[in-house]
């Protein structure tokens, strides 16, 4: 095994362990917020603050990783995740939970740095495979994270945060002792230049800006779904939190299969843009179909099909962004991509939270329908502008 392949598997392993830490919390965050007396809108803000903090922090981490190297920034971000999860698990008031989630968002900008590592160690022909392996590792975390969460819930919902902190500590140790520095050519800029201005100027980068905008829009529609999914499943379909956790296991399993087997097979035979359009079409139709019949078997079938094709979206758009970016700017641009996804994750839950009402549970289906319609519009825009980014893919 070459050193680059070894490093690719190391960063994938770190991504897997980091994903475990993240996905342990997904099935319990909604109900944990309710334990502190938060209503649906306040809970949506809890979701959003984490992502809003990531929005500002991620480009800073990307910029600093281009200057100081990938490894130091990964270490700082993972250490912050450990502390933030310990704080959230020990929270005795809602303000402590909000502060812990903000801290986790500030130090949680490591996805862009990890993706920059992949860009450092792969050539253009193998980059889609590298991002697919990264996404598959994250997807495997979606399989096992909810399982660990299920066991932690037997103690308490707060225990899930302690489990997440312990697993994030493992990712931190792997980064310290196993991952070498992969950045060969560092960018020497003013240390006070943190790259925040690129949050605006990034949208105008030739060939890349349009992809960042598309990803921002599809991320917003997806985060509307991710917030509305849990109360819809619990309140409209009448299921419990353990059943919800098992659903995340199912989706994670299907996603891993698609990303490890499907993505390499499909990207060798079809253009990235065509696969991207297909995945967006299936995503939009799935969102629209989900709330039509409030029947468990129907909902599970639609969401299972959705999870298979949806697994194509992020690996493909990350690959297209990377292929349109110069090597020395990978950290900055991938940081921007992760940052725009973070702001989309901040916008979507609030939009969904404004549409739903606990006294009328059927409203939990409204964000799903709107997400589907908006995704169709984004698909139309992506097709109309494909000449601005497709030639390099």
In a domain, 37, yes or no: yes
In a domain, 83, yes or no: yes
Average pLDDT in the 338-357 region? Answer: 84
In a domain, 184, yes or no: no
Q: The domain that contains 64 carries what CATH number? A: 1.20.1250.20
The whole domain housing 343 covers: 3-179+195-392
Sort residue 69 into left (φ over 0), alpha (ψ -120 to 50) or beta: left
Sort residue 30 into left (φ over 0), alpha (ψ -120 to 50) or beta: alpha
On the 0-12 / 13-18 / 19+ scale of CB atoms within 10 A, 184 is exposed
Residue 173 pLDDT more than 80?
A: yes
Q: Do you know the residue count of the chain? A: 393
Q: Which residue has the higher pLDDT, 175 or 162?
A: 162
Residue 320 pLDDT more than 80?
A: yes
The Cα 257–Cα 380 span in angstroms is 28
- Main-chain phi, psi angles of 146, to 5 degrees: -60, -30
In a domain, 370, yes or no: yes
In a domain, 114, yes or no: yes
187-234: pLDDT as tens digits? 655 544 555 566 677 777 888 888 889 989 998 998 899 888 888 998
Residue 19 pLDDT more than 80?
A: no
SS (H, E, C) 314-356: HHHHHHHHHHCCCHHHHHHHHHHHHHHHHHHHHHHHHHHHHHC
| Rg (alpha carbons) of the chain, rounded to whole number | 20
91-129: pLDDT as tens digits? 999 999 999 999 988 887 677 787 778 878 887 777 767
Q: Which residue has the higher pLDDT, 268 or 77?
A: 77
In a domain, 190, yes or no: no
In a domain, 185, yes or no: no
Q: Look up the pTM and report it.
A: 0.71
Number of domains in the chain: 1
In a domain, 187, yes or no: no
pLDDT value of position 318:
80
Average pLDDT in the 311-323 region? Answer: 82
């Amino acid at each position: 095994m070459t050193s680059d392949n070894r490093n690719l598997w190391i960063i994938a392993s770190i991504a897997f362990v980091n994903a475990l830490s993240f996905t342990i919390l997904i099935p319990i965050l909604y109900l944990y917020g309710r334990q502190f007396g938060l209503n649906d809108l306040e809970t949506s803000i809890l979701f959003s603050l984490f992502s809003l903090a990531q929005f500002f922090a991620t480009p800073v981490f990307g910029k600093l990783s281009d200057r100081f190297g990938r490894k130091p920034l990964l270490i700082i971000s993972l250490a912050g995740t450990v502390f933030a999860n310990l704080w959230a698990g020990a929270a005795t008031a809602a303000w402590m939970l909000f502060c812990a989630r903000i801290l986790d968002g500030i130090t949680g900008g490591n996805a862009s740095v990890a993706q920059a590592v992949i860009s450092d160690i792969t050539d253009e022909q193998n980059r889609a495979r590298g991002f697919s392996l990264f996404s598959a590792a994250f997807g495997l975390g979606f399989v096992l994270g909810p399982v660990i969460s299920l066991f932690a819930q037997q103690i308490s919902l707060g225990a899930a945060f302690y489990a997440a902190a312990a697993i994030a500590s493992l990712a931190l140790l792997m980064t310290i002792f196993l991952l070498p520095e992969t950045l060969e050519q560092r960018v020497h800029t003013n240390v006070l230049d943190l790259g925040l201005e690129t949050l605006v100027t990034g949208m105008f980068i030739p060939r890349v800006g349009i992809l960042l905008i598309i990803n921002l829009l599809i991320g917003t529609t997806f985060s509307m779904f991710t917030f509305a999914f849990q109360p819809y499943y619990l309140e409209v379909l009448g299921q419990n939190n353990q059943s919800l956790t098992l659903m995340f296991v199912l989706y994670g399993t299907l996603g891993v299969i698609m990303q490890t087997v499907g993505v390499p097979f499909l990207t060798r035979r079809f253009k990235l843009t065509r696969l991207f359009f297909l995945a967006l079409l299936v995503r939009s139709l799935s969102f629209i179909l989900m709330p039509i019949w409030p029947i468990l078997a129907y909902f599970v079938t639609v969401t299972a099909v959705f999870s298979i094709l949806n697994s194509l979206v992020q690996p493909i758009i990350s690959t297209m962004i990377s292929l349109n970016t110069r090597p020395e700017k990978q950290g900055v641009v991938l940081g921007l991509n992760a940052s725009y996804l973070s702001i989309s994750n901040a916008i979507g839950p609030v939009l969904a939270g404004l549409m739903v009402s606990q006294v009328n549970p059927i409203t939990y289906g409204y964000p799903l329908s709107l997400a589907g319609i908006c995704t169709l519009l984004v698909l139309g825009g992506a097709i109309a502008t494909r000449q601005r980014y497709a030639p390099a893919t």
